[in-house]
Amino acid sequence: MGQTFPAPKTGEVPFKVTHPKRIPAQRYYDQTFSELERELLWPRVWQMACRLEEIPEVGDWVEYKNLDKSVIVVRTKAGVKAFHNACRHRGVKLADGHGSCEVQGFQCPFHGWRWSIDGENTFVFGRHLFDQEDLDPTEIDLKPCRVEFWGGCAFINFDDHASPLLETLKPVADALDPRHADKLRVEWWSSAILPTNWKLAMEAFMEGYHVMRTHPQLQAVNLPLPGYDRYSAPPDATGPSLGSLTTRKLVEMFIQYNAVLSEGMAGMVHANDVAIMNDLKDKVQLADDPQVGFMQWYGLLNEEITKCNRARGVDFPDLNTTPLASPVQFVFPHYFLLPMFGNMASYRIRPLTAETCLFEIWSLVLYPEGEARPRPTAPAPIGHDDPRFPPIPQQDYSNLPRQQEGLHAGGFEYMRLTPKVEGMISNYQRVIDGFLGGVDQATLTNGLVLASGGFDAPVKDIGF
């Protein structure tokens, strides 16, 4: 199953990040750099291939495709397996999209060879025409692809020597396992093709520094509390001061903020959460001191959201005893989960060319145990400027093509990052250099752990 991946010497990585606060612009459009990612990064990293609910029954399968690689992920009686998506006769792709084939298995449309859902070859037309050595089962069974699981998803890796999945995403698993990430189910799923390098698309969600200008409707109701208004300092702060607000006004702003965030982010702050907030606000007595009163409100709200969901039969985490997670969690190299009150939004980004990518958004919800849900299927991508996208994605998507163009401007050599809240961009970019430059596996794994986790992270010493 394994492959050997050649790598240039560390000093040969083009446009390498040599200063952790400065990211060379060419990394986002240079064709040579893009080809190195195709050859040395993507075949060696854990990629979120599908949500397990996409293949709920034995025989259900889904294709995962990234650049020139295609994999079939299929549910068998023995569990979920993954296979390289190619006929073992002459390489024809066996499966497109998604389907179910428990009985008939997979069949090549060219010459009719067949395989069971376990990858075993079951039929060769005209076997007598072949030399026996070319029909050895080890040669003609489908080639397995490494697959491991976390958070209700199947992740694939083409490198059999890569560290186990859970070793590479430990900070995210530690934060989200207590929040039942494995039990989330798809409420809706949409996607867009962006005229943007895949890394630019990700970096828009690695910091909250952009909210002030990109999402003014959020900034208008931003709370003057630690964790909500950490980017501005007097005299630059834009909102009202804490001392000028009553507890009641602070709670109203909090509800407004979450209602705005909910529009289009769905699972991150679900409409049900906002409804509970509005129902609760007139039923509670809170301290007059706004800081004390707000902490009371937050605890009572967590208690009420937990209680209401459990009353519906949901295996819901206790939000007051579960450790608070950063509202954006990144899994290297291309997957995000965005938690707030138990449900979550999710992003996955895949490169198409050096300057285009596929961006997918899910709303993920904790439903009552045993509630039947339709099998989710990948949506047809729509334009990044399609008016059907709600305000927050529209605003983010409008920036990204302009940024892609701007990086080509004469005289623009590198991005300059603040080390306090844009460090995640630097951290994961330097991990990419580790893959391209042949850094050893143990050191890479340590870098993967440090690069993953919550957004607004500082620049870190990743070990190389």
Long-range CB contacts (within 8 A, 24+) of 107-112: 111/87
Q: In one letter, which amino acid is 6?
A: P
Name which of 332, 357, 333, 359 is nearest 346 in CA terms.
359
Which two tokens mark 22? 């400065």
Write the CB contacts of 223 (distance below 8 Å, at least 6 apart in sequence). Answer: 229, 239, 250, 253, 254, 257
| Model pTM above 0.85 | yes
The two structure tokens encoding residue 26: 């060419």
DSSP 252-308: HHHHHHHHHHHHHHGGGG-HHHHHHHHHHTTT----SSHHHHHHHHHHHHHHHHHHH
Predicted confidence at residue 2, as pLDDT, reads: 53
| Fold observed for domain 10-43+166-203+326-454 | Naphthalene 1,2-dioxygenase Alpha Subunit; Chain A, domain 1 (3.90.380)
Asked if 99 and 54 count as a contact pair (C-beta separation under 8 A), the reply is no
Structure tokens, 293: 């009163």
Q: Looking at residue 156, what is its pLDDT? A: 98
Q: What is the pLDDT of residue 136?
A: 94
- At residue 204, what are phi and psi to the nearest 5 degrees? -65, -15
> Where in the chain are the domains?
10-43+166-203+326-454, 49-150, 211-311
Nearest to 343 by CA among 187, 175, 222: 187
For domain 49-150, which architecture applies? Answer: 3-layer Sandwich (2.102)
What value does the CA radius of gyration of the chain take, rounded to a whole number of Å?
Answer: 24
Q: What is the structure's pLDDT at 71?
A: 98
Report the distance separating Cα 13 and Cα 326, nearest Å: 33
- The answer to whether 196 touches 361, Cβ cutoff 8 Å, is no
Each residue's pLDDT expressed in tens, for the chain with a length of 464 residues? 555 555 545 458 999 999 999 999 999 999 999 999 999 999 999 999 999 999 999 999 999 999 999 999 999 999 999 999 999 999 999 999 999 998 889 999 999 999 999 999 999 999 999 999 999 999 999 999 999 999 999 999 999 999 999 999 999 999 999 999 999 999 999 999 999 999 999 999 999 889 888 888 888 887 776 655 567 655 455 556 666 789 999 999 999 999 999 987 789 999 999 999 999 999 999 999 998 999 999 999 999 999 999 999 999 999 999 988 899 999 999 999 999 999 999 999 999 999 999 999 999 999 998 899 999 999 999 999 898 888 888 898 999 999 999 999 999 999 999 999 999 999 999 999 999 999 999 999 999 999 999 999 999 999 99
| Residue of 163, 109, 110, 96 lying closest to 378 (CA atoms) | 96
Question: Residue 133 contacts by C-beta under 8 Å, 6 or more apart in sequence?
Answer: none
